[in-house]
Amino acid sequence: MRFAFTDDQKMLRDTVREVLQRECPPEVVRAAWEGRPDGARAVWDTLAETGVIGMTASEEAGGMGMSELDLVLPLEESGYAALPGPIVDTVAVGIPLLEAAGTSVQKERWLGPATVGEARIVVSFEDQAIVPHAASADVLIAERGGAVYCVPIADVSVSPERSVDRARELGRVSFERNAQFRMREDVNTAALLALGRERAALGTAAQLVGLSRRMLDMAVQYAKDREQFGKPIGAQQAIKHRLANALIEQEFARPMVCRAGWSMATSARDIEIDVSLAKIYAGQAARFVAKAALQVHGAIGYTIECDLHMWMKRAWALAAAHGDAAHHRERIGRHIL
Amino acid sequence: MDLDFTESENAFRDESRSWLEANVPRESLPSGDTKEGFALHLEWEHKLFDAGWAAVSWPKQYGGREATLVEWLIFEEEYYRVGAPSRVTQNGIFLLAPTLFEFGTDEQKDRILRPMARGDVTWGQAWSEPNAGSDLASLKSTARRVDGGWHLSGQKTWSTRAAFCDMAYGLFRTDPEQARHRGLTYFMFPLHAEGITVRGVDRLDGDEGFAEIFLEDVFVPDSDVIGGVNQGWKVTMATTSSERGLSLRSPGRFMATASRLIDLYHRYRDRSDPVLRDQVVQAWMDAQVYRWFTFQTVSRMMQGESIGPDSSMNKVFWSEMDVRTHETALAIIGDALELDEGSESAVDAGHWMKGFQFALAGPIYAGTNEIQRNIIAERVLGLPRK
């Protein structure tokens, strides 16, 4: 039993953290909100140069052959920065799915470009017609009627939907289920899709932890700076206790995300339970921290001018995405009761 | 990251399990927080010690088996899983002993540790005073220099099991001139000596688990000072941090409670609703989360990190989880919840109501959760003190 990340994993996290600190400040998120995603797109390119975008592809496909556990810290950082873009879809779900189930033509066309950051993959599971970042992606991998399709975005009809988090640029996707888009049928599609769902939930949970950390950082900083009654509001016990509670929520969610990453990476017995625990606690923490951070900010937090809202809205969206708490609690209940 | 247990950790689990299964008393003992129950629990403690299980992580010379922290957590899981008796030696083994290991002299360790772990000498803590609870540093009990040692005077209260124990430890003011945190010294003192009066106090749950201690010129030799004169605050903080954190309440206890809750739910499910089902699942999940959080903490400690104020998060989490879990159990039991211990028709012999009342103490003892939240805010988040 050794519950700690390796130096390599921490180094990768630091690399991602530096890139995002430098290239993905809140202005970039705000620009994506206002329909100017160029900055976020440039961050994607830099991340690709560091190898992070292609990290889950095998070495022969030009990637690093990294596991779900390796994904946890980089994705947490992407949440911390509220990076706009389909990083979970592409890196955690799309690339492994493409490599395992893509035809040679599909892999030829998309795997290399996805690995180097030139093609972005979005994923649509059976029950999920509305997909974030579909319009600006290059290829859609979609589960329909138990089969999987790999469809160039040019062949997908994307009708815009509006997310409370404008940086998620949602679109309702539909396409002709042509044979040419079908992915391989000689693989265990159901198992690969199931794995993809777990990866999506895990990746989202990791991002939620990052979102929590950032919102808590903002709130703590604000509580130190903002003065009322002649002293920082953070000196008041009511504020202290609220933020202490937020930290507890966040810190108890974190090991569950690591645990889920480890379970997936080692194909442990309890993948479903562990991923569900991660998703529930990370989602619950992010929503809790969001509320605490808003309250600590007071009226300024209740404006579009204050950056907090972009993190908060992402947290709401992601806490419900890829299975909300009720869904995952139900799943755990089936295992233990 | 390797979240599998190693071969030797698994072997340790197997060995713990077989010994416990063969030796744990079949009938559950009366509460260790009563006079009769205390004596019966001590017999169990002797047996544990003689087989080398009383303090598994201690050095062999003091009766331990030099288990790692992970192995200790494994032992605790097995201990609570089989429903072994609660540990009446706890205040010694898990609170005083860590302080002795850090600040005690060799003479003190040789003299105190083995009898403590075997339950031959039992220990109560004597921190709080009638006017010094959360504000512990305002305490007024004094220690006055006399030939060869000290005279302790004053009043201590809420001393767990002190009505049945042989010895106690706590803080006394040795230098009233110094600032309040400074002039304090950590003493060990006898509970059956001239000048001592101990009066049991019935707790909320009816057990005489508390006591008040009145001291009037009680002699204590210099050899019973831990960590130096006027160093008591620093020494105490080291102890309280282990009390709040894992040594007091390891995950095994809560995992066992969650399993019993699921069992209760299955037996009474006909009167259950979906909300209750969610709460049962929540209780199980919380215990799991506490388990993995603790393995993470212990891994950090095994790599040489000190935990410090982080242990306050631990304390808030387990204490509030324990209350919720018992509330869920009572909700399952319904109107029969009022049937107390000793009532013929009580569900599970009234165990859940008793446990609920005990759980309610969790957010109060070992530093109230309000104090813990202050510590988290000031020392982990860095918010201003005032």
Contact B77, B251 (CB under 8 A): yes
CA distances, A185 to each of A98, A146, A147 (Å): 13, 11, 8
Residue type, A259: R
**Structure confidence at residue B245 (pLDDT):** 61
CB contact under 8 A, B384 and A2: no
Asked whether residue A145 falls in the same domain as residue A209, the answer is no
Q: How far from B80 is each of A18, B119, B315, B367, CA to CA, in Å?
A: 46, 19, 19, 24
* C-beta of residue B138 within 8 angstroms of C-beta of residue B179: no
ipTM exceeding the 0.90 mark: yes
Q: Is residue A1 part of a domain?
A: no
Catalytic pick from B243, B305, B327, B370?
B243
Q: Which residues of B touch A6 (CB under 8 A)?
A: 1
Confirm or reject contact between B384 and chain A (CB < 8 A).
yes
Judge: domain B245-380, CATH 1.20.140.10.
Answer: yes
In this structure, the strands spanning A170-174 and A147-152 are: unpaired
pLDDT surpassing 60 at residue B243: no
Handedness of CA A159, A163, A169, A173 (dihedral sign): negative
The CATH number of residue A143's host domain is 1.10.540.10
Domains of chain A: total = 2
Q: Tell me the per-residue pLDDT of B321-373, one tens digit each, with 9 for 90 and over.
A: 999 999 999 999 999 999 999 999 999 999 999 999 999 999 999 899 999 99
Which strand (E) or helix (H) includes residue B58? none
Residues A268 and A206 in one domain: yes
> Are A160 and A194 within one domain?
no
CA distance B364 to A173: 55
Q: What is the CATH number of the domain that holds A324?
A: 1.20.140.10
Query: Span B41-47, mean pLDDT?
Result: 97
Residues 6+ apart with CB under 8 A from B175: B182, B183, B230
The pLDDT of residue B305: 87
Yes or no: say if B209 and B193 are a contact pair by the CB < 8 Å rule: no
Query: By C-alpha distance, which of B173, B152, B296, B118 is closest to B220?
Result: B152
Residue B243 among the catalytic residues: yes
Q: Does residue A235 lie within any of the structural domains?
A: yes
Q: B 47-86 residues with CB below 8 A of A?
A: 70
Domain boundary, last residue among A156, A181, A206: A181
pTM over 0.95: yes
Name the residue of chain A whose CA is nearest to B258's CA. Answer: A336
Query: Which residue in the set A3, A252, A259 is minimally distant from B317, CB to CB?
Result: A252
The amino acid present at A98, given as its one-letter code, is: L
CA B53/CA B47 separation, integer angstroms: 9
Boundary of a domain, candidates A181, A216, A234:
A181
- Identify the residue whose tokens are 């951070």: A293
CA distance, residue B78 to nearest chain A CA (Å): 17
* Nearest beta carbon to residue B384 from set A2, A69, A232: A232
What distance in Å separates residue B203's CA from the closest CA in chain A? 28
Helix ranges (H only) for chain A are 7-23, 26-33, 38-50, 68-80, 87, 95-101, 104-106, 112-115, 189-225, 237-265, 271-297, 308-320, 325-336
Say whether both A78 and A202 belong to one domain.
no
Residues of B within 8 A of A1 (CB-CB) are: 2-6, 9, 70, 295, 299
Tell me the two tokens of residue A110. 């998309």
| CB atoms A237 and B374 under 8 Å | yes
The CA distance from B108 to B110, in Å, is 5
**Residue found by looking up tokens 């869920």 in the block:** B328
Of A122, A157, A181, the residue that ends a domain is A181
Q: pLDDT 10s digit of each residue in chain A, 337 long?
A: 999 999 999 999 999 999 999 999 999 999 999 999 999 999 999 999 999 999 999 999 999 999 999 999 999 999 999 999 999 999 999 999 999 999 999 999 999 999 999 999 999 999 899 999 999 999 999 999 999 999 999 999 999 999 999 999 999 999 999 999 999 999 999 999 999 999 999 999 999 999 999 999 999 999 999 999 999 999 999 999 999 999 999 999 999 999 999 999 999 889 999 999 999 999 999 999 999 999 999 999 999 999 999 999 999 999 999 999 999 999 999 999 9
Same domain, yes or no: A81 and A226: no
In a domain, A2, yes or no: no
Q: Is B313 on the interface with A (CB under 8 A)?
A: yes
Taking all residues of chain B, what is their mean pLDDT, rounded to a whole number?
A: 94
Contact yes or no for A1 and B4 at CB 8 A: yes
Contact criterion met (CB below 8 Å) for B146 and B155: no
Give yes or no for B296 touching A (CB within 8 A). yes
Kindly list the distances between the CA atom of residue A301 and the CA atoms of A292, A315, B356, in Å, as whole numbers in the listed order. 11, 15, 40
Residues A204 and A330 reside in one and the same domain: yes
- Largest CA-CA distance found in chain B, in angstroms, rounded: 71
Q: Please indicate if any CB of chain B lies within 8 Å of the CB of A258.
A: yes
Q: Are residue A228 and residue A162 in the same domain, yes or no?
A: no
Tokens 């009342």 belong to which residue? B357
Q: Which residues between 315 and 374 in chain B have a beta carbon less than 8 angstroms from any beta carbon of chain A?
A: 316-317, 370, 372-374
One domain for residues A265 and A197: yes
Does one domain contain both A193 and A133?
no
A5 contact residues in B (CB cutoff 8 A): 1
Sheet holding A130-132, edge to edge: A130-132, A170-174, A157-160
Whole-angstrom Cα distance, residue A34 to residue B124? Answer: 65
pLDDT tens string B64-99: 999 999 999 999 999 999 999 999 999 999 889 999
Tell me how long chain A is.
Answer: 337
Q: CA B306 from chain center: how many Å?
A: 20
pLDDT score of B244: 62
Average confidence (pLDDT) over B206-231: 95
> Looking at residue B208, what is its pLDDT?
84
Asked if B185 and B230 touch (Cβ cutoff 8 Å), the reply is: yes
d(C-alpha B364, C-alpha B370), whole Å: 9
What residue has token string 């990076």? A83
Expressed as residue numbers, the domain containing A200 is: 189-336
Residues A2 and B302: their CA atoms lie apart, in Å, by 9
Q: For strand A139-144 and strand A227-228, is the pairing parallel, antiparallel, or unpaired? A: unpaired
Backbone angles phi, psi at B201, to 5 degrees: -125, 125
Contact B313 A231 (CB under 8 A): no
Residues A220 and A288 in one domain: yes
Per-residue pLDDT band for B239 (boundaries 50, 70, 90) equals low
CATH T-level assignment (fold) for domain B123-238: Butyryl-CoA Dehydrogenase, subunit A; domain 2 (2.40.110)
Same domain, A139 and A201: no
Look at B30 and B247; give whichever has higher pLDDT. Answer: B30
Looking at residues B204-215, what average pLDDT do you find?
A: 92
Residue B128 predicted with pLDDT over 90 = yes
Residue extents of the structural domains in chain B: 123-238, 245-380
Cβ contacts of A329 on chain B, cutoff 8 Å: 278, 281-282, 285
